[in-house]
Every structure is written in C-alpha cells, then in structure tokens.
Amino acid sequence: MSWYEKLTGEKIETVGVESKKLQKGEEVIVTFKEDEPRVIEAGDVKYASILVKNNDRLVELRFKSKALARRLARLQLSRGSLMDLKVRIRRPTGEGDDVKWEVEVIE
C-alpha cells in the first residue's frame, strides 16, 4: 500500500478519475478494472469504490447499497474476481415493484 493510499484511502490511479453514482432507475454497462471494490471511510460515511470502464472511459463507481454489495460479492465469489467482467447494473427506482438492484453478466 502506497503512502497516498494510507493517507487518503484511495488508490493513486483514482486521482483525477471521474466518480459515478447511479441515480434511481439508471442503468450502466461497465467492465470492472479491479479484482474487488475497496471500502472508503470518510468521517461517518462508509462506501465502496471500484474502477470500471464505461463508454471507453475509466470511471470510479461508488456505492453504499448493501443489496448491490451483496450481488457483487456473490458474483466475485462465483467467478473468483471481478477483473475484466462486463456487467449491466441497474439501480431500482424504489417505486412499486421496482425495488431490487439488477446485476447481469454480459460476457
């Protein structure tokens, strides 16, 4: 672990990388560029972060959802790693029956 990582909780590769937080009902297709998310603590807030490729851009995908974390952890467990895995992720709107995160492997 580098000094920068110890100090900030972030990998040096993420410095200057755009962050992406999915809005309600939003869907993205991404390719993971790390083996697993890392946990970042900022004061009282704790969230997960993982580098992904989205539309040929390197983006830091951030999330706090335990439901999404559970789905990604199960996927990682079944595959051994998230690295280079292409998936479709959709955040639910929370309205009616649309309450579950969707994570689907594409390739």
Average pLDDT, the chain: 87
* pLDDT the model gives residue 27: 94
* 51, 65, 76, 78, 100 from 19: Cα distances, Å: 9, 16, 22, 27, 23
Is the pLDDT at 52 greater than 80? The verdict is yes
Give the helix ranges, DSSP H, for the chain. 3-8, 66-79
Question: What's the average model confidence in pLDDT over 89-102?
Answer: 91
Q: Which amino acid is at 22?
A: L
Q: pLDDT tens across 6-50, in order?
A: 777 766 665 556 777 889 999 999 999 999 998 988 788 888 999
Question: What's the average model confidence in pLDDT over 78-107?
Answer: 93
Is the pLDDT at 97 greater than 90? The verdict is no
Would you state the structure tokens that stand for residue 34, as one six-digit string? 């790390």
Would you state the structure tokens that stand for residue 89, as one six-digit string? 């992720």
DSSP 12: G
CB–CB of 68/101 below 8 Å? yes
* pLDDT the model gives residue 71: 95
Is the pLDDT at 3 greater than 90? The verdict is no
CB–CB of 80/73 below 8 Å? no
Residues in contact with 90: Cβ distance below 8 Å, sequence separation at least 6, in sequence order: 22, 25, 26, 27, 28, 101, 102
Question: What's the average model confidence in pLDDT over 60-78?
Answer: 93
